[in-house]
Amino acid sequence: MPTIAIIGAGAMGAGMGRRLKENGCRVLTNLDGRSDASQKRATQSGMEHVPIAEMALADLVLSIVPPVEAGRVVESLAPLFAQDKSPLFCDANAISPETMHSLAQRVEALGGIATDGGIIGAPPAEHHDGPRLYVSGPQASAFKILANYGIDVRILSGPIGSVSALKMCYGGINKGIIGLTTALLLAAERHGAGENLRAEFEISQRHLLENSRRTIPQMYPKAYRWDGEMAEISSFLAKDDPAAAMIWQGLAQFFTDRAAAEPEGAELASLQALLK
């Protein structure tokens, strides 16, 4: 029975943990400093809380956290990487290739080996097979074993940074469309054009309208971590396309603002009324 360690017990981390547990893996995690909600999700998913040092029992370690936490996770695992034959580490977060290279170098300096990972798709659920876990870099093929335990694993032949580039481009398109649509719907409401915009969508953009009815409500509770991903995408674009980088930097702030508006609920309620 493989033992897999997952750092992060958000919807994705706990969902992946549950799927692995249901298919016969032992799943370890560390919940030090995590919220009550994260601890509850981990417990319900069958993940076992252990000290960092005991994660040496794992065959593989997956980091599944918001992008801004990726570096802190690596530093927290320093005692693990310092051990002889520490488990292979995969950063599966939405970070740029440059950030991934820096983290891989840091893991190596601490004594470990890192692979580049990325998750595309919704968390595993009762009626949903789950996302794709893409992996590239040193010993990436070791993660193929997870395919035997309910995880759709895709190994890319490129080096460290290959998966991160894929994740940046996919996430930038997917979440970018949601952000831009939300921004212009809010602008239409402020300027009294909301009903007319929706009517035009009914005629010429029905697919986008129907998709927005689903994705915009799903975005608000996730916006607190989407801002970091947009900032990573902006960094990814900055050298080659500064103008494009500014778009995603703006989206980073936009999602920060949506996260601030989410607890009150009035903004989302207004959008849902418009889109109904």
Q: What pLDDT, in 10s, does the model give residues 62-110?
A: 999 999 999 999 999 999 999 988 999 999 999 999 999 999 999 999 9
The pair phi, psi for residue 248, each rounded to 5°, is: -75, -25
pLDDT of residue 35: 85
Whether 106 contacts 116, CB under 8 Å: no
Strands 3-7 and 114-120: unpaired
Mean pLDDT of the chain: 96
Whether 87 and 61 have beta carbons less than 8 Å apart is answered as yes
pLDDT reported for residue 127: 81
- The percentage of the chain sitting over the pLDDT mark of 90, rounded to a whole number, equals 93
> How would residue 1 be classed by pLDDT, with cut points 50, 70 and 90?
confident
Task: Please give the single-letter amino acid code of residue 51.
Answer: P
What's this model's pTM, rounded to 2 decimal places?
0.93
Which residue is listed with tokens 């990726």?
70
What is the predicted pLDDT for the residue at 36? 86
Q: In percent, how much of the chain has pLDDT > 70?
A: 100
Question: Residue 265's pLDDT is what?
Answer: 97
Query: How far is Cα 135 from Cα 158, in angstroms, rounded to an integer?
Result: 9
Mean pLDDT of 215-238: 97
Q: Is the pLDDT of residue 43 over 90?
A: yes
pLDDT for residue 21: 97
The answer to whether the beta carbons of residues 55 and 82 sit under 8 Å apart is no
144-187 tens-digit pLDDT: 999 999 999 999 999 999 999 999 999 999 999 999 999 999 99
Tell me how many degrees the CA angle 13-252-41 measures, rounded to the nearest 5. Answer: 20
Surface-to-core class of residue 116, CB atoms within 10 Å of its CB (0-12 exposed, 13-18 middle, 19+ buried):
buried
Rounded to whole angstroms, the Cα distance separating 227 from 198 reads 27
Residue 37 backbone zone (phi > 0: left; psi -120 to 50: alpha; other: beta): alpha
For residues 128 and 156, the model is more confident at 156
Are the beta carbons of 64 and 34 closer than 8 angstroms? Answer: no
Beta carbons of 30 and 58 less than 8 angstroms apart: no
Residue of higher predicted confidence among 92 and 36: 92
Nearest-angstrom CA–CA distance, 76 and 1: 26
pLDDT number for residue 261: 98
Mean pLDDT calculated for residue range 5-14: 95
